[in-house]
């Protein structure tokens, strides 16, 4: 069984469109994250939710809006897509905050904005 799953795996879209990426974890964890990995493999945290509450919100354009309908899901909606949004987006989860506990990562969603 896949622990952290993301859909879609690949997403190709035009500038200006709105798109969503979904994430689900079946590990029973209470904390979920979104990361962005650029073309140079640099990985940066975007958001973190603990028990459906937003606890980390890094400097990310407000075109990005996370939504956590329950502890097992954390979706990422992006409005008015720009070329610079092209990247691989990873979802992750942990039990408790990641300071001491292992994060489990999904396989990533490669977003290409044309």
Partner 1 sequence: GDSVTQMEGPVTLSEEAFLTINCTYTATGYPSLFWYVQYPGEGLQLLLKATKADDKGSNKGFEATYRKETTSFHLEKGSVQVSDSAVYFCALSDRNKFYFGSGTKLNVKP
Is the four-CA dihedral 69, 97, 1, 19 of positive or negative sign? positive
DSSP count for the chain of H helices, then E strands = 0, 11
The answer to whether the beta carbons of residues 87 and 37 sit under 8 Å apart is yes
In the list 92, 93, 111, 113, the residue contacting partner 1 (rule: CB under 8 A) is 92
Near partner 1 by CB under 8 A, which window of 10-18, 20-28, 41-49, 69-77? 41-49
The answer to whether the beta carbons of residues 43 and 34 sit under 8 Å apart is no
Least Cβ distance, residue 31 to partner 1 (angstroms): 10
Least Cβ distance, residue 29 to partner 1 (angstroms): 14
Residue 102, interface with partner 1 (CB under 8 A)? yes
Q: Which two tokens stand for residue 76?
A: 């990422």
Residue 41, interface with partner 1 (CB under 8 A)? yes
Residue 63, interface with partner 1 (CB under 8 A)? no
In 10 A of CB 101, how many CB atoms?
13
Residue 66, interface with partner 1 (CB under 8 A)? no
Q: Nearer Cβ to partner 1, position 14 or 39? A: 39
């Amino acid at each position: 069984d896949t622990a952290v799953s993301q859909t879609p795996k690949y997403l190709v879209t035009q500038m200006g469109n709105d798109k969503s990426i979904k994430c689900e974890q079946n590990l029973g964890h209470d904390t979920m994250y979104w990361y962005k990995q650029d073309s140079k493999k640099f990985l940066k945290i975007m958001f973190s939710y603990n028990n459906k509450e937003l606890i980390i919100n890094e400097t990310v354009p407000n075109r990005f809006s996370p939504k956590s309908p329950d502890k097992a899901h954390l979706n990422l909606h992006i409005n008015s897509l720009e070329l610079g949004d092209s990247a691989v987006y990873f979802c992750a989860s942990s039990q408790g905050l990641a300071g001491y506990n292992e994060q489990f990562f999904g396989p990533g969603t490669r977003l290409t904005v044309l």
